[in-house]
Structures are given as C-alpha cells and as structure tokens.
Amino acid sequence: MSRLWLSFWQRFLDKDGFHPFDALAVGYAALPEFFTCRSAHARIGFNLFLEPLGMGRDLEMAEDIPGRAVTYCYDVDPRLKDVLLERLRG
C-alpha cells in the first residue's frame, strides 16, 4: 500500500516522499513542538483532481471559506521521525 501511495505522490505531486498521516497525528499529539501550524478555516469538499482515483472528497483549507477554524500544520521538523521511532521502540 505504501508503494502505491508513494507512486501517487511522485507522479501527481512531484514529491519524492510523503508523510504518513496517521503517524503525524500521533506525532503532533505527543510532540507538537516539532510542527509548524497556523489557524485556518477548513471544510470537506469535492476535488476533481482526485475523483478519477476514487477519492473525490478532500479537505479544503482557505482563509475565505465558510468552515470551522482548525489548527493546520503545514510543516514538520525532519528530526521528528527519529524521535518518534525511538519512543515507539520504548
């Protein structure tokens, strides 16, 4: 499954890697200081780009949309990976 996801990011988003979102949620809960975040408005919307892949619904983030104010994290310190793996090893 990870290879398919990595292929998607490389082909459609021109990225050589991706952040596993579930691990990031755990990382933010345990170590929020490793994240760069801001408040933004969000809602679930429809994305034509993702529709052919069977994933038409997507999270929309913008200052000018109606929606709930959320904490939007847009960057993560690369050191988080090692710290998180070390904590998981226990």
C-alpha 51/C-alpha 24 separation (Å) is 25
Token representation of residue 34:
């490793």
| Bridging pattern class, strands 68-76 and 57-62 | unpaired
CB distance 41 to 48 below 8 Å:
no
pLDDT in tens, 44-55: 766 656 555 555
pLDDT in tens, 62-73: 677 777 788 888
Does 37 have pLDDT greater than 90? yes
* pTM (2 d.p.): 0.62
